[in-house]
């Protein structure tokens, strides 16, 4: 193999080692296509901590997946509109986008735009107007309807594409704002999976228990299929002990959910959005672009393996049930721990060879313990108005946003 022919560089020449690794990855990953999932995968990219790489990961993974032949949609649900910028899609005031979809009941197909640089990649843009949607939605009296608007809009778009004979969407990525308000709740209700980018710095684990608790509440009351499927370590610098320690903690807290691929710090990744591009087109040979390509591949392949394992397990259970001779039914393979360990919140900053945030040694407030996810009461927390009781039956109301807009007028 050509990739194996590239000689190893010594441990004392990290740049040469990186160059050799990148050359191997370029050969391994070039021109690869990725298999389509059996059904559309909808992933919400969330972490209420700001600046951890949510948008960067959403747009670059989306571009990488589309470059590998998949049909991808990015829903920008952050009023900052950073994902729209990075994907080269206009999002000034009055550009129809996520606000109009949520509040005015606009069809998603009327807001979706094609990303100019990547075939097969679409974007629903967001503008600063979206910040007002939190207020508009808060006025809606039907609690469940107001957090289900995005889900309804997405289902409508998927159905519309099917009716028009257009290819099925393979991946939908929702880029969330750094908060846990009604917009993020809409995104959690619309998705089946949560992808959490984690910046490998001291504060990285703060807030993860709270995010997990909120995801648990959404699972219990609104979206039983929701799961934290993927964690991605971003801005990772393997040379620092702090980054390695944070990575180890995250891997312990979410066994088998953290992608092996880590995203390094790269100037080219941070430059790309100012050119209205992702790094996948801005500098595809760059180490950061190769990492996102590799992460996209892992995202696809790890899911495929999990799906295959689950199918094999189901078949084995059915086979055993049909055979009275076999009494024992083994539990499902241990990929999904029944109860994941709580994310540890260190009392003091771990040592860092690179200095950085660890030097400040801030006092860390202990996070409240997270109850087992599926045993939460059927209530979801609106962080501004307190717990909302969502028990009881409900009918989806697609005109909720429009009624809110009418009230406004």
Residue 136 to residue 129: CA distance in whole angstroms: 11
Taking the complex as a whole, the smallest distance from the CB of residue 194 to ligand ATP amounts, in Å, to: 14
Taking the complex as a whole, the smallest distance from the CB of residue 403 to ligand ATP amounts, in Å, to: 30
E strands, 110-183, are 113-114, 121-124, 171-175
Binds ligand ATP (CB under 6 A): choice among 158, 180, 198, 235: 235
Tokens read off for 365: 């407030």
Nearer to Mg ion, 145 or 176 (CB): 176
In sign, the C-alpha dihedral spanning 99, 156, 380, 347 is: negative
Contact map string, positions 111 to 150, toward Mg ion, x by CB under 5 A: ----------------------------------------
Burial (CB count <10 Å: 0-12, 13-18, 19+), residue 248: exposed
Residue 44 interacts with ligand ATP (CB under 6 A): yes or no: no
Taking the complex as a whole, the smallest distance from the CB of residue 177 to ligand ATP amounts, in Å, to: 6
Binds ligand ATP (CB under 6 A): choice among 24, 34, 44, 53: 53
Q: Give Cα 217 distance to the centre of its chain.
A: 18
Residue 305 to residue 194: CA distance in whole angstroms: 18
Residue 50 interacts with ligand ATP (CB under 6 A): yes or no: yes
Contact map string, positions 66 to 105, toward Mg ion, x by CB under 5 A: ----------------x-----------------------
Nearer to ligand ATP, 265 or 313 (CB): 265
What length does the chain have? 409
Place of tokens 């778009």: 157
HEC-encoded secondary structure of 312-343: HHHHHHHHHHHCCCCCCCCCCCCCCCCCCCCC
Residue 316 to residue 61: CA distance in whole angstroms: 34
Q: Which stretch binds Mg ion (CB under 5 A): 55-63, 150-158, 377-385, 400-408?
A: 55-63
Residue 352 interacts with ligand ATP (CB under 6 A): yes or no: no
Q: Total residues at the site for Mg ion (CB under 5 A)?
A: 3
Q: Provide the Cα torsion 328, 334, 306, 375; round to 10°.
A: 100
Binds Mg ion (CB under 5 A): choice among 41, 49, 54, 303: 54
Taking the complex as a whole, the smallest distance from the CB of residue 199 to ligand ATP amounts, in Å, to: 8
Tokens read off for 324: 């009275």
Burial (CB count <10 Å: 0-12, 13-18, 19+), residue 292: buried
Q: Which stretch binds ligand ATP (CB under 6 A): 53-61, 254-262, 307-315, 363-371?
A: 53-61
Nearer to Mg ion, 42 or 59 (CB): 59
Residue 128 interacts with ligand ATP (CB under 6 A): yes or no: no
Residue 55 interacts with Mg ion (CB under 5 A): yes or no: yes
Element (H, E) at 272: none
Binds ligand ATP (CB under 6 A): choice among 55, 95, 240, 281: 55
Contact map string, positions 257 to 286, toward ligand ATP, x by CB under 6 A: ------x-xx--xx----------------
Q: Tell me phi and psi for residue 59, to 5 degrees.
A: -75, -35
3-state secondary structure of 124: strand
> Which of ligand ATP, Mg ion, none sits in contact with 207, Cβ below 5 to 8 A by type?
none
CA separation, residue 405 to residues 100, 137, 354 (Å): 10, 10, 51
Can you give the binding site for Mg ion, defined by CB under 5 A?
54-55, 82
Can you give the binding site for ligand ATP, defined by CB under 6 A?
50-56, 78, 80, 82, 178, 234-235, 263, 265-266, 269-270, 288
């Amino acid at each position: 193999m050509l990739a194996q022919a590239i000689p190893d560089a010594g441990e004392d020449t990290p740049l040469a080692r990186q160059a050799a690794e990148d050359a191997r990855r370029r050969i391994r990953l070039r021109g690869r296509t990725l298999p389509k999932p059996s059904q559309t995968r909808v992933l919400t990219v969330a972490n209420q901590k700001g600046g951890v790489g949510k948008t960067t990961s959403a747009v670059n993974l989306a571009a990488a997946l589309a470059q590998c032949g998949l049909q991808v949609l990015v829903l920008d649900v952050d009023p900052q509109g950073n994902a729209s910028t990075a994907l080269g899609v206009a999002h000034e005031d009055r550009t129809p986008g996520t606000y109009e979809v949520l509040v005015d009941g606009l069809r998603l197909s009327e807001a979706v735009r094609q990303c100019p640089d990547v075939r097969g990649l679409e974007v629903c843009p967001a503008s600063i107007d979206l910040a007002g949607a939190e207020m508009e939605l808060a006025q809606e009296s039907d609690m469940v309807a107001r957090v289900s608007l995005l889900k309804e809009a997405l289902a409508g778009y998927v159905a519309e594409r099917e009716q028009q004979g257009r290819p099925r969407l393979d991946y939908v990525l929702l880029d969330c704002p750094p908060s846990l308000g009604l917009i993020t709740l809409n995104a959690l209700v619309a998705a089946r999976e949560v992808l959490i980018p984690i910046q490998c710095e001291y504060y990285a684990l703060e807030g993860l228990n709270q995010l997990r608790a909120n995801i648990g509440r959404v699972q219990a009351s609104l979206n039983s299929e929701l799961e934290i499927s993927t964690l991605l370590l971003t801005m990772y610098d393997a040379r620092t002990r702090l980054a390695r320690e944070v990575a180890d903690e995250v891997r312990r807290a979410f066994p088998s959910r953290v992608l092996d691929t880590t995203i390094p710090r790269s100037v080219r990744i941070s430059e790309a959005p100012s050119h209205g591009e992702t790094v996948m087109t801005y500098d595809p040979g760059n180490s950061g672009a190769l990492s996102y390509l590799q992460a996209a591949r892992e995202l696809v392949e790890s899911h495929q393996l999990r799906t295959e394992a689950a199918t094999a397990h189901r078949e084995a259970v059915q086979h055993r049930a049909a055979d009275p001779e076999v009494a024992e039914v083994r539990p499902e393979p241990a990929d999904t721990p029944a109860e994941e360990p709580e994310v540890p919140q260190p009392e003091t900053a771990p040592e860092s060879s690179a200095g950085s945030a660890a030097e400040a040694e801030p006092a860390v407030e202990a996070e409240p313990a997270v109850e087992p996810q599926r045993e939460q009461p059927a209530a979801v927390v609106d962080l501004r108005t307190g717990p909302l009781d969502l028990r009881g039956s409900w009918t989806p109301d697609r005109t909720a946003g429009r009624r809110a807009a009418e009230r406004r007028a």
